[in-house]
Amino acid sequence: MLPHKKYAYLIGALGFALLGVLVAVFGFKENLNINYIIFLLFMTMSELQTLKVNNSYLSVGFGFLYSAAFIFGPASAAIMKILSTLICQIYYKVKNGLDDSIEKTVFNAGQYMISFFCATQLYLLNKKSFINNNLTYEVVMQSTPILIYFLLNNLLVEYYIVLKHQKPMPKLIPKSLLMDLSTYLIAVPAGMAIVSVHNKHGFFETVLVLVIYLAVVYVYILYHNLIKTNNELTALYDMVTSIASTLDIETVMDIVLSYAQSIAPWDTVCLYVYQNGYLVPAIYEGFENEEFKYHKLKPDEQILGRNIFTSKGEIINNCHKKSKELKDISIGQDGTKSILAVQLTTNKKLIGGIVLTSKKNNIYTKKHLTLMNILASQAAVALTNAQLFDETSQMAITDGLTGLYNHTYIYSEMERQMRGINNAGGIFSLIIIDVDHFKVYNDMYGHIVGDIILKNLAEVLKKNVRDKDIIGRYGGEEFAIILPGIPSLEAMIIAERIRKIVEKTALATVENENIYITISAGIAAYPTNAASVEDLVDKADQAMLFGAKKEGRNRVVIFRQNISMET
């Protein structure tokens, strides 16, 4: 894919070449007279009144370009557009400290010129081909060049955004086009009115129309900003409704991050969770370096002498002046200039934080901070509830002593495994493990030591199976291991390896004496040996009791038919 900078300068070069063609053909006759300068100032003011939609900014400045083309001529109008674009970009450079302002200036000037040149040439071609002074015909004849300008302008801009962000064409392009089209519905009639007044009454009366037009533009943008604010508040309400309907931590974090992205602009966004004295990245977007997920923040982390996380939230600008500090704490990307950070707290307890960064300076406003604080307060409550639910759910399926799954969960997992095998085929093995002579250890050393033995045995079992294997305390001194996809012969090898490790591992120490134990294990597989959960457990139990135990303990036995009847 073409690099966005190369594309920007290519568009700029083509645009300025076409401007040269316009000047060569039509000439530039204004010599910056007072009328031209006044019109230029009005055009610049209209372009500074912009409306942000997705990643682009819309203005109603086309009305000035349209009217300038008829009042001053195509070449003079094109140069006026170039000058107003340059003035606006200088203003934004001073205001926001943009590093890519030259690139954007060149691109914007170029894409305006390409669109304007194509529209102008189409209009002149129509004018030469069809000579008709009828007003209706003139309006129809102008509509096609205006549509060409509109489509080319949007296509060039959207493709630049795609290249810059390395993402496919956004799904919101139709919305952007409709919004931009609405600006043309104001700009085109206004442009026609300006030309009409100028032709009939002169420039002074035209200035009055320009003032009225700017006022209309201001009201239009104010109206859409009110709609935007209302949408943001609606989004917050929707978020509260969404996170209230789920108690899954991952889902809650996804919802929170999604709505954070819709509230304020960002180049990177991250939701941190508080763990062991640090804020740890939990879910994030915009970071190119995957190592970011390993970076932790202290709750009192500072940049430019200010805490990033405070109870009221923080907006920190001019971060690029302390780029080393920024790099050390790994917030944002290279070139980050603005940070917006809010805490997630409930009952004065720190839960986490949300950090947005931008490469534009002074991009965040008090409104952004207020909305993000509302989001953070609701997110903190939702995450706390989800964590409590998760902890409660874990307690319901977890053995309190060993931290392994309990009897109830082991049964439900075997039922789940069986359903999967019945639908798609496969196999799994069950290992039932029993501590040999465990009552003797309890009687000799006491129940506290017995509990220590069981806890340490659980750790040995966890370290010697795969992540996807399921280990549980079946009851008392019995343990169960579910091995998905493993037949009984392979399960035998695994169980035998575990048996040997247990035999050589001290699982408790009493008065400097290491205590060792042995285990007996029985194995059965589904569907090879059993047709139901109860049947499978019974077969593994038979292998352990009538096989391993009966044959002398400290061994592993696979279920075989009539094992309980063997002598």
Cβ(18)–Cβ(10) below 8 Å: no
Helix, strand, or coil (residue 279)? strand
Beta strand pairing status for 51-53 and 56-58? antiparallel
Cis link prior to 487 (omega < 30° from 0)? no
pLDDT at 30: 53
Together in a domain, 150 and 16: yes
CB 508 within 8 A of CB 449: yes
Instruction: State which amino acid sits at residue 58.
Output: L
Report pLDDT for 529.
93
Do residues 194 and 209 touch, judged by C-beta distance below 8 A? yes
- Say yes or no: 152 and 273 in one domain: no
Residues 412 and 381 in one domain: no
Instruction: Tell me what pLDDT residue 387 has.
Output: 75
Question: What's the rounded Cα separation, in Å, for the pair 67 and 64?
Answer: 5
Which residues of the chain register pLDDT less than 70?
Answer: 1-2, 29-32, 51-58, 96-101, 130-136, 165-176, 304, 321-330, 389-393, 565-567
Confidence (pLDDT) at 266: 85
Query: How many domains is the chain partitioned into structurally?
Result: 3
Same domain, 254 and 150: no
pLDDT of 53: 57
- Report the chain's terminal Cα–Cα distance, integer Å: 76
Residues 47 and 137 in one domain: yes
Q: What is this structure's pTM?
A: 0.52
> CB under 8 Å to 439, separation ≥6 — which residues?
none
Distance CA 58, CA 402 (A): 62
* 91, part of any domain: yes
Residue 192 and residue 69 in one domain: yes
3-state DSSP percent of the chain in helix, strand and coil, to 5? 60, 15, 25
The CATH number of the domain where 319 resides is what?
3.30.450.40
Residue range(s) defining the domain that contains residue 104 = 4-206
Task: Specify whether 423 is located in the same domain as 535.
Answer: yes
212: tokens are 């009225």
The per-residue pLDDT for 57 is: 62
Return the DSSP state at 400. T
Distance CA 9, CA 229 (A): 36
Query: Token digits for 96?
Result: 């926001």
- DSSP code, position 360: S
The CA distance from 302 to 107, in Å, is 37
**DSSP class of 185:** H
Instruction: Say if strands 338-346 and 349-358 run parallel, antiparallel, or are unpaired.
Output: antiparallel
475 sits in which H/E element: strand 470-475
Q: Is residue 220 part of a domain?
A: no
Pair (382, 474) in one structural domain: no
Which of 104, 101, 141, 95 lies closest to 122, judged by CA? 141
Residues 160, 122 share a domain: yes
